[in-house]
Amino acid sequence: MSSLSSPTMIPLDVLLALPTASEFLAHLGGIYEKSPTFIEQFYTENLCPTTNDASTIQATKARITNIKILFDEMKQYVRRSPSEVQLELLRSHPDLCLKLEQIDATQRDEDEATITEESRQEQGRAGLATLTPDERQNFTEWNEDYKSKFNIPFILAVRNASKYTVLSALEGRLSNVNSSPQEEIAHALFQVDKIAYMRLLEKVTYSQNQEGHGGFLTCHVLDTANGVPAAGMRIELYKYDNTDTKQMVKSFVTNSDGRLPSGPALKGAEFTVGQYQWIFYVGDYFARFSSSRICGTPFLDVVRLDFGLDDPTDHYHVPLLCSPWSYSTYRGS
């Protein structure tokens, strides 16, 4: 389940030691849609041996210790670029939901040339080829209205989204009557950042002398009905693949403090970005307590929480506060 299985990924320290811009671009040139210039500028100003002295290059390598720092530095080249360059970047993105299989052979060749492999994979993962006729008509109309109103394509990071997410986001952004073109450009650039970062995560892994990017996942369960930690609750952690299929990663039984007995659920190389699910066996836990208020058929039996991890350098804490009749959760720390 580790992202290290991808043969195209390069360790961060190896990436930062590449001696030429062409080699650097061969790995990262596609993270911004048809816009490798930003990546080339970053390399030239920070890592290129012909334009930087050894101390500058060494300082860059020492400063960039994880993939998040690398991306934060690279995206500044987009943010600092002139507005016309930013617009060119936005307009390089293809229309979402373009059904290549429904285009005739001549037009297909022309359109395929305008869509990068990264965009094609992202749209495929979101199931955008499965739009019903009504959904496609809505999207087409809203998309044309959006382009007419803001003069840029509708951009959304769709890698982990569904077609319903895309349609809802487009309808919402189009119906925001108070949004100015400048505000929408800023919103689109934010989405471009998300797209580029998710692409980067599929291309760069952690340095050879490290185990993981530094992030980890923890959990804590509190019994709000009895005012105590939920000790002895059975929990399972699953990870989704690029479809709705999931596989169990680990199972646990909470300790006396309502926490996982082994510390973080995921850390090191096993902590990877993606969609996950916690399953809490709440009904089994509360069955041990004698209460006339708990029915033979539990109101809450199994609690399932779907959540996403998108920063491999961060700490994600997912607590559960539960009783036989209610539960709540949040992104903790």
Binding residue numbers:
220, 259, 330
Write the CA distances from 208 to 9, 26, 202, integer angstroms. Answer: 12, 20, 16
| CB atoms inside a 10 Å sphere around CB 210 | 16
Counting every residue written for the chain, the total comes to 333
Give the residue among 99, 73, 88 at the shortest CA–CA distance from 34. 88
Give the pair of three-digit tokens for residue 170. 């487009």
Distance CA 139, CA 171 (A): 9
Residue positions forming the annotated binding site for substrate: 220, 259, 330
Rounded Cα gap, residues 238 and 261, in angstroms: 18
Sheet holding 303-309, edge to edge: 246-253, 234-240, 274-280, 303-309
